[in-house]
Amino acid sequence: MTSTALASPLLGGATEAGGVRAALGFIDRHAAELAAALRRGVPFLGRRGVPIVPAPAEAITLAALAAELAPPSFSVLLATDPGGSRGALFVDAGACAFLLDGSLGGDGSQPPTLDAATLSPAQSALLARVAEGMVQAESSALGTIAGFRLLRLPHTPGATPADAPAIALRLALGEDGAFGTVVLALGRDALLASGATQAARREAIEPRVAATLEDVELEVVAELGRVRMRLGALSALRVGDILDLDVPVGGVVKVRVGNRFLLDGHPTTSGTQVAIRVARRHDT
């Protein structure tokens, strides 16, 4: 399902439909940032150089998403802060097996064979730890781009997501989802209420104002990568040591102005200088 093929009950009336479409467009524009957050939340994906490919955002209910997932799968119920709007993080069976192998030190090429009916308690516990990193990373990203964060709700065995409206972003692991899919479902009400989504519905800037702004100089930052280190390891660094960043060679780096990501690019060189070749714009 794409953002242009939506069931009318999910869109509601004309005013609400406009808001939902704005929310869908907002998530699509920030899909690369949310994919990058998933990579940060699961360092194994970065080390393995696994592509994370977002699909177009869609309007759907949490219950419908849960019903789509064939067992064994894993889910975490979420709430937005502020607002308490319900959401969820879903991991399908293929992604469960892939992440379990990676978390146990494998390279993802030999995922375990999962029981067709359910995950074992040990597998569920390990995936819960992996999901904690995912939620924290996505929460941090959403705090910047949407003005709210995610809270993980207590797990209740057998609990199913409520039939709540959501905006879902499917993140395929590997080309064509070869390693499964993770779905981030955000409460629709939280997105409709966020200042970022409301800004997406503003009218275009008056032409002569835009022309005046063209001469304004801004500081543009190309973020080659980040790394988390223990304080002891940081203190032990010496001249000549190497820091491995979370962006693989040939990977995608983010170019931003302030806290707003504007471009994706690939590291390259221009003469004797490090440079970025633009691969994608995030027009807002």
For 19-64, what is each residue's pLDDT tens digit? 788 889 889 999 999 999 999 999 989 888 899 999 999 999 999 9
Q: How far apart are CA 114 and CA 133, in angstroms?
A: 22
Sheet holding 260-270, edge to edge: 220-223, 253-257, 260-270, 273-281
Answer yes or no: is pLDDT of 4 > 90.
no
CA atoms within 13 A on the CB side of 61: 12
Q: What is the pLDDT of residue 245?
A: 80
Q: How far apart are CA 1 and CA 7, in angstroms?
A: 10
Token couple for 234:
């940081």
For 208-263, what is each residue's pLDDT tens digit? 565 676 778 888 888 887 788 889 888 898 998 888 887 777 788 888 887 788 88
Q: Is the Cβ–Cβ distance between 276 and 265 less than 8 Å?
A: yes
| Phi, psi of 202, rounded to the nearest 5 degrees | -65, 155
Q: Is the Cβ–Cβ distance between 86 and 162 less than 8 Å?
A: yes
pTM, entire model: 0.65
Exposure pattern of 90-117 as b/e (b: 16+ CB <10 Å)?
bbbbbbbbbbbbbbeeeebeebeebeee
Q: At what angle do helices 31-41 and 121-145 cross, to 10 degrees?
A: 140
Domains, the chain, ranges and CATH?
8-199 (3.40.1550.10), 214-281 (2.30.330.10)
Average pLDDT over residues 193-213: 57
Q: Which residue in the block uniquely carries the two structure tokens 């375990």?
A: 112
